[in-house]
């Protein structure tokens, strides 16, 4: 089955700096790569996702890059703010058209943004 590795496990940055979280996956059949933000005691919230036919996607301060050959993808947050502090999870799965298979999650990264 799919195996997703996520690094680093903790990341501490100063407000305004950039943060990068990296993930690798093992199953070449995976073609859908979402990133989730989870705050304490809450469910994960999708912040950005990318499909394997795209190499990069950006949404304001958040961007995701995908290298299919190397089987790794990264989350980039620019101009970080204290409210970005949370646990971030990457995931990988197989999505065909409008159908989605199960997701495999990375171990999570605790991001702390210091004012």
Residues lying near another protein in the complex (CB under 8 A) are found at 34, 36, 41-46, 49, 89, 95, 98, 100, 102-108, 110
Quote the least distance from Cβ 42 to another protein, whole Å: 6
Taking the least distance from each CB to another protein, the nearer of 9 and 81 is: 9
3-class DSSP state for residue 2? coil
- CA 14 to each of CA 5, 10, 66, 115: distance values in angstroms, whole numbers, following the listed order: 25, 14, 26, 6
Whichever of 14 and 98 has its CB closer to another protein, that residue is 98
Nearer to another protein, 4 or 77 (CB): 4
CB of 98 to another protein, least distance (A): 5
Q: In what order do the strands lie in the sheet containing 56-59?
A: 4-7, 19-25, 72-77, 62-67, 56-59
């Amino acid at each position: 089955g799919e195996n997703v590795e996520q690094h680093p496990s903790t990341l501490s940055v100063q407000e305004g700096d950039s943060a990068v979280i990296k993930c690798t996956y093992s199953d070449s059949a995976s073609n859908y790569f979402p990133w989730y933000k989870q705050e304490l005691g809450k469910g994960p919230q999708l912040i950005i996702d990318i499909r394997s036919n795209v190499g990069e996607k950006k949404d304001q301060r958040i961007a995701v890059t995908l290298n299919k050959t190397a089987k790794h993808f990264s989350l980039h947050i620019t101009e970080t703010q204290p409210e970005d502090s949370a646990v971030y999870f990457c995931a990988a799965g197989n999505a065909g058209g409008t159908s989605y298979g199960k997701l495999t999650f990375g171990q999570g990264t605790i991001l702390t943004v210091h004012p």
